[in-house]
């Protein structure tokens, strides 16, 4: 096997599968500067506009002043500082679980949690559209992996009937590239009937849906029936990091067995401190409610029939090249909406993934609609769900 990577790179380039990083020369927000040009940004997951908010910036500064810049070691060695503990208590309260554990990212949360709980002889049943972190973590665990077509309850039930060992269903409350929701009530009923556990990734739901922005399980009153509630601090909470909320027993198990937790330096304490402030903002409903209110007002403006089910509104194009062409046309017009294509989504289902935030103005949304119409993507062309 040769170490010359160039032929493979050339091949990927030829297939338009080679990507490059785009440098943003401003803070994150509804308007960003890219290639020296100001663009309206409809591609970020900063749903509540907290990433560049005064409240979080002040909290970060406060965190550095109180707790310093670095955390020194992994949490089990000597890296657990007061804000790490306080944040986890707040997350447990937020998710109505006995306990919670934070990780350096959402990706690391999945990679630590699933292999710590599942292994050879066990079965993991995943929705086909689950995020890469959940897929990779399931592979790493060594458990048997079964996949059901997106949100297909009949197929899920069939797989449950033949599953062996400990059985874990893994799904998301809001799917990251489609913006639609999982049928949580039915999935909970199925997993109870079959004695399985459920891991629900609420990455795109927290801060956006549910009472006080507490997510889908909270909206449906099912928090007590979802054994593993995963989320990130990197989307509506505006920072970076991930968490798993569960019973005290599970969290203690993860503290001992989740390798991405045990063998990784604790996130900077200032980030934990700021995340706690972000959660309080969302929870208290002070700023959070008005931010969430603004987000949903913007979403209703963007798409009214039917209303979006989340802050992610995909315009499915299908053809990869066409999606890229439309994306660059929109870019010319000053709108940042990258085309999402294979391997992030299935071949032939390339799309513009539009995300709306609380920070967008009505004028920016109207401008988006006008530009979408110019490229032939009026509201009628927007599918309700992928």
Q: Using the rule CB under 6 A, is 107 a contact of ligand PMP?
A: yes
From the centroid of its chain, how far is CA 42? 16
If the CB atoms of residues 67 and 107 are measured against ligand PMP, the closer one turns out to be 107
φ, ψ at 336 (rounded to 5°): -95, 105
Query: How many other β-carbons are positioned within 10 Å of the β-carbon of residue 10?
Result: 11
Q: Identify the CA nearest to 337 among candidates 307, 362, 360, 308.
A: 360
Residue choice 49, 63, 106, 288 for contact with ligand PMP (CB under 6 A): 106
* 235 token code pair: 């989307």
> Could you say which of 127, 201, 287, 371 contacts ligand PMP (CB under 6 A)?
201
- Of the residues 127, 178, 201, 320, only one is catalytic, namely 201
Residue 172 annotated to the active site: yes
179 contributes a contact to ligand PMP by CB under 6 A: no
Tokens 């007590």 sit at which residue?
Answer: 224
Which residues, 226 to 265, sit near ligand PMP by CB under 6 A? 232, 234, 242
Among 43, 113, 176, 355, binds ligand PMP (CB under 6 A): 176
204 included as an active-site residue: yes
Per CB under 6 A, the segment of 99-107, 285-293, 307-315, 318-326 that binds ligand PMP is 99-107
Binding test (CB under 6 A) with ligand PMP, winner from 102, 105, 310, 349: 105
Residue 267 within binding range of ligand PMP, rule CB under 6 A? no
Q: Which of 84, 95, 191, 235 is catalytic?
A: 235
Under rule CB under 6 A, residue 178 binds ligand PMP: no
C-beta of residue 225 within 8 angstroms of C-beta of residue 95: no
Question: Min. distance of Cβ 204 from ligand PMP in angstroms?
Answer: 6
> Among 41, 43, 44, 45, which one carries the catalytic annotation?
45
Please tell me whether residue 203 binds ligand PMP under the rule CB under 6 A: yes
The answer to whether 201 is a known catalytic residue is: yes
Rank residues 163 and 275 by Cβ distance to ligand PMP and give the closer one: 275
Contacts of ligand PMP in 119-138 (CB under 6 A): 131, 133
Number of Cα atoms under 13 Å in the Cβ half of residue 229: 29
Report the catalytic residues: 45, 131, 172, 176, 201, 204, 235
The residues binding ligand PMP (CB under 6 A) are 105-107, 131, 133, 172, 176, 201, 203-204, 232, 234, 242
């Amino acid at each position: 096997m040769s170490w010359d990577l160039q032929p493979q790179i050339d091949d990927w380039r030829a297939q338009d599968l080679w990507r490059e990083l785009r440098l943003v020369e401003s803070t994150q927000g509804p308007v960003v500067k890219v290639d020296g040009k100001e663009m309206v940004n409809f591609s970020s997951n900063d749903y509540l506009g907290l990433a560049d908010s005064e409240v979080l910036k002040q909290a970060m500064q406060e965190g550095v002043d109180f707790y310093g810049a670095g955390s020194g070691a992994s949490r089990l060695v000597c890296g657990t500082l007061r804000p790490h503990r306080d944040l986890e208590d707040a997350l447990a309260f937020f998710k109505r679980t006995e306990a919670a554990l934070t990780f350096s990212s959402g990706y690391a949360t999945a990679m630590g949690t699933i292999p710590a709980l599942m292994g050879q002889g066990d079965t993991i049943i995943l929705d086909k559209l689950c995020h890469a972190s959940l897929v990779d973590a399931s592979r790493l665990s060594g458990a048997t992996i079964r996949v059901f077509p997106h949100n297909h309850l009949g197929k899920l039930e069939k797989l449950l009937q033949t599953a062996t060992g400990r059985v874990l269903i893994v799904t998301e409350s809001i799917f990251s590239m489609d913006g639609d929701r999982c049928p949580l009530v039915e999935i909970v009923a199925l997993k109870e009937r079959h004695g399985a556990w459920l891991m629900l990734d609420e990455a795109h739901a927290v801060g956006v849906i549910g009472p006080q922005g507490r997510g889908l399980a909270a909206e449906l009153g099912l928090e007590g029936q979802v054994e593993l509630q995963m989320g990130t601090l990197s989307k509506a909470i505006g920072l970076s990091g991930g968490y798993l909320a569960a019973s005290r027993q599970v969290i203690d198990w993860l503290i001992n067995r989740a390798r991405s937790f045990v063998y990784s330096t604790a996130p900077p304490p200032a980030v934990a401190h700021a995340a706690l402030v972000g959660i309080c903002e969302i929870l208290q409903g002070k700023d959070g409610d008005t931010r969430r209110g603004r987000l949903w007002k913007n979403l209703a403006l963007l798409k009214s029939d039917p209303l979006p089910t989340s802050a992610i509104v995909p315009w499915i194009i299908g053809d990869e090249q066409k999606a890229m062409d439309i994306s660059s046309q929109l870019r010319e017009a000053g709108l940042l909406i990258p085309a999402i294509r294979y391997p992030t989504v299935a071949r032939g289902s390339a799309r513009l993934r539009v995300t709306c935030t609380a920070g967008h103005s009505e004028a920016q949304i109207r401008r988006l609609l006008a530009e979408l119409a110019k490229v032939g993507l009026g509201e009628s062309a927007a599918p309700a769900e992928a």
